[in-house]
Amino acid sequence: MRILVLGAGLQGSACTYDLLLEEDVGAVTLADLRPEAAAAFLPEGSKLRKVEADFSDGAAMRALMTGHDIVLSAAPYYFNASLAEAAIEAGCHFSDLGGNTGIVREQLAMSERARAAGVSIVPDVGLAPGMVNVLVAEGIRRFDDPRRVRMYVGGLPRHPVPPLDYQVVYSLEGVLDYYTTPSWVLADGETREVEALSEVETVTFEGLGELEAFHTAGGASLQPWELADRLESLSYKTLRYPGHARIMRAIRGLGLLGEEPVRVGVQDVSPRELFIACARPVLMRPGEPDLVALRVVVEGEREGEPARLTFDVLDYADEHTGISAMERTTGFTLSIVGLFLGRGVIAGRGTAPSYRAIPYGPYVEALAARGILVKESE
């Protein structure tokens, strides 16, 4: 397989690392505006080539994709529609980390063209969206009458430090988008918008203790709409250490996450850009280990009796390689899907989001082979 990975940041580097371990991967090209920024844990060798690339240059991207079998995008989400278009034109399978339902809808509209080109487009492939939605789909399949679904996912520091008890485990810009964009849920069989950082509840994990959970956007993918005729309720919430949501609501309420420039002295300044510039150095804690906590709860009826099924994942940074838990669960999921596309495990053509494209059994086995364990309980 000849695979192109777009984005040399945290997730793209982890995805590339995992691909390089596979014998049937002949070559990996890692492309970015700054390919030299790739993680230090990437091995040097003949299978890896790093190139400079501008994701906004459609012609250049098509030329770069040509000669590859599969394109895996860990680029910023707003590039993914045009990148999927380029992959169809170049005749490559394509998958991305997603996170924006509007762009996923654009990619779904490309399905017929992808099918005609003989390629698969699989968006929303990471941790959330991605892993969590695959578990939801599997849980629903196991019920005669599924009714309620709750999703909880969080990337957290192993050793929390006040005031936010949080460290950057992926793009801080992306985190703030989720804290300011309304979330979509399914309630009483109807899709509804709810405010980000709202409806805080306590969720307890064995060995970790109490966390708080609150609504954020993106993680549910298109499932609130696609499952509206089957479920009473469905929600996605982010996990943090207790007290985080209250502080972030205050910061947001003060206007510090706004994007409209305000006058400061003789200059116009974006409050969000200023906040990021101040907060990033504090929240970036290189070398500090992280963890990922995930829970999916599905409730309904099975054989006429009330039933409940829970999926749990608790994953930790790999201190040997230096690959974080967020990189493992997100970047490795992207690489697994790339391998599935190349090996024919995902054989359908056209566009299908993660939870429709990824087969549960082989996926969970691939995660376990990488030390990421999905635990089921009833």
Say what the pLDDT of residue 45 is: 79
Query: 128-325 adopts what CATH topology?
Result: Dihydrodipicolinate Reductase; domain 2 (3.30.360)
Residue 129's pLDDT is 96
Cα dihedral 218, 17, 41, 99 in deg (nearest 10) = -10
Q: What is the pLDDT of residue 287?
A: 83
Q: Under the phi-then-psi rule, with left for phi > 0, alpha for psi from -120 to 50, and beta for the rest, what region is 156?
A: beta
Instruction: Evaluate whether 338 touches 92 at the Cβ level (below 8 Å).
Output: no
The structure's pTM equals 0.95
- Say which CATH architecture domain 2-125+327-370 belongs to: 3-Layer(aba) Sandwich (3.40)
pLDDT confidence of residue 169: 77
Residue pair 73/96 in contact by the 8 Å Cβ criterion? yes
Q: What is the pLDDT of residues 76-87, one digit of tens each?
A: 999 999 999 999
How far apart CA 362 and CA 300 sit, in angstroms, is: 25
**Cβ contacts of residue 338 below 8 Å, gap of 6+?**
1, 3, 15, 19, 70, 72, 93, 95
At CA 67, angle to CA 65 and CA 70, rounded to 5? 60
User: pLDDT at position 46, please?
Assistant: 81
Locate the domains of the chain by residue range.
2-125+327-370, 128-325
State the 10-residue block means of pLDDT for the chain, 378 residues long: 96 97 97 93 89 96 97 96 98 95 96 98 97 98 98 96 90 89 94 97 95 95 96 98 98 97 95 96 91 98 97 96 96 98 96 97 98 97
Tokens describing residue 214:
């609150």
Selection from 322, 346, 377 nearest residue 119 by Cα:
346
> CB of 341 within 8 A of CB of 96?
no
Q: Please, what's the b/e burial string for 3-25 (b: 16 or more CB within 10 A of its CB; e: otherwise)?
A: bbbbbbbbbbbbbbbbbbebeeb
Rounded Cα–Cα distance for residues 145 and 304 (Å): 9
Could you count the other beta carbons within 10 Å of the beta carbon of residue 278? Answer: 11
The answer to whether the CB of 102 falls within 8 A of the CB of 76 is no
Q: Give pLDDT, residue 114.
A: 98
